[in-house]
Amino acid sequence: MSTSPDSAPALVLVNLGTPAAPTAPAVRRYLAQFLHDHRVVQLTRWLWCPLLHFVILPLRSPKVAHKYAQIWMEGGSPLAVHTAALAEAVAARLPDRQVVHAMRYGEPSVASVFDGLRAAGVHRVRVLPLYPQYSTTTTASVADAVAVAAAGLQVELLHDYHTDAGWAAAIADSIRAHWAAHGRGERLLLSFHGIPRRLVDGGDPYADQCEASARAIAAALDVRRDELLLTFQSRFGRERWLEPYTLPTLEALAREGVRRVDVVCPGFAVDCLETLEEISVENDAAFRAAGGESLRYIPCLNAGGAHADALAALARGDAGWA
Ligand SMILES: C=CC1=C(C)c2cc3[nH]c(cc4nc(cc5[nH]c(cc1n2)c(C)c5CCC(=O)O)C(CCC(=O)O)=C4C)c(C)c3C=C
Ligand SMILES: [Fe+2]
Ligand SMILES: [Fe+2]
CATH number of the domain at 263, please.
3.40.50.1400
The span from the CA of 61 to the CA of 136, in Å, is 25
Pocket-testing residue among 273, 277, 281, 282, ligand 1, by greatest number of atoms within 8 A of Cβ? 273
Structural contact between residues 143 and 157, judged by C-beta atoms closer than 8 angstroms: yes
Closest by CA position to 305, among listed 99, 131, 129, 89: 89
- Tens-place pLDDT, residues 203-219: 999 999 999 999 999 99
Strands 10-15, 99-103: pairing kind: parallel
The ligand 1 site (C-beta within 6 Å) comprises: 16, 18, 31, 40, 60, 64, 77, 79, 131, 135, 137-138, 193, 195-196, 234, 236, 267-268, 272-274
- What is the predicted pLDDT for the residue at 5? 62
CA distances (Å), 229 to each of 42, 62, 88, 166, 247, in order? 30, 33, 33, 22, 13
Q: List b or e across 84-99, with b for residues whose CB sees 16 or more CB atoms inside 10 angstroms.
A: bbbbebbbeebeebbb
Nearest CA to ligand 1 atom 3: 193
* Residue partners of 76: CB distance under 8 A and separation at least 6: 18, 20
Nearest CA to ligand 1 atom 16: 274
Half-sphere exposure of 49 (CA within 13 A, CB side): 3
Phi, then psi, of 126 in degrees rounded to 5:
-110, 130
On whether both 50 and 112 belong to a single domain, the answer is: yes
On whether both 96 and 200 belong to a single domain, the answer is: no
The span from the CA of 275 to the CA of 287, in Å, is 15
Phi, then psi, of 231 in degrees rounded to 5:
-135, 170
4 domain-assigned: no
On whether both 126 and 180 belong to a single domain, the answer is: no
For residue 204, give the amino acid letter. Answer: D
232 domain-assigned: yes
- What is the predicted pLDDT for the residue at 222? 96
282 domain-assigned: yes
Starting from the CA of residue 192, give the closest ligand: 1
On whether both 42 and 120 belong to a single domain, the answer is: yes
pLDDT reading at 99 higher than 60: yes
Find the 5 Cα to ligand 1 centroid distance in Å: 36
On whether both 157 and 170 belong to a single domain, the answer is: no
- Tens-place pLDDT, residues 27-67: 999 999 999 999 999 999 999 999 999 999 999 999 999 99
Q: What does the radius of gyration of the chain's CA atoms come to, in whole angstroms?
A: 20
Exposed, middle or buried: residue 158 (CB in 10 Å: 0-12, 13-18, 19+)? Answer: buried
Q: How many domains does the chain have?
A: 2
Q: List b or e across 33-72, with b for residues whose CB sees 16 or more CB atoms inside 10 angstroms.
A: bbbebebbbeeeeeebeeebeeebbeebbeebbebbeebb
Position in ligand 1 atom list of the atom nearest CA 272:
29
5 domain-assigned: no
Task: Kindly report whether the global pTM for this prediction surpasses the value 0.90.
Answer: yes
On whether both 190 and 88 belong to a single domain, the answer is: no
pLDDT > 90 in the chain, percent:
98
Nearest CA to ligand 1 atom 11: 236
For residue 190, give the amino acid letter. Answer: L
On average, the pLDDT of the chain sits at: 97
Starting from the CA of residue 53, give the closest ligand: 2
On whether both 232 and 139 belong to a single domain, the answer is: no
Closest by CA position to 267, among listed 209, 202, 222, 307: 209
152 domain-assigned: yes
pLDDT average, residue stretch 246-253: 98
Beta bridge partners of 261: 187, 295
What is the domain range of residue 253? Answer: 165-298
On whether both 107 and 220 belong to a single domain, the answer is: no
On whether both 290 and 179 belong to a single domain, the answer is: yes
pLDDT reading at 220 higher than 60: yes
- What is the predicted pLDDT for the residue at 240? 98
On whether both 170 and 155 belong to a single domain, the answer is: no
285 domain-assigned: yes
228 domain-assigned: yes
169 domain-assigned: yes
The span from the CA of 269 to the CA of 291, in Å, is 31
pLDDT average, residue stretch 143-172: 98
Euclidean distance between the first and the last CA atom of the chain, given in angstroms as a whole number: 26
On whether both 214 and 239 belong to a single domain, the answer is: yes
Q: How many residues does the chain have?
A: 322
On whether both 223 and 208 belong to a single domain, the answer is: yes
Starting from the CA of residue 38, give the closest ligand: 1
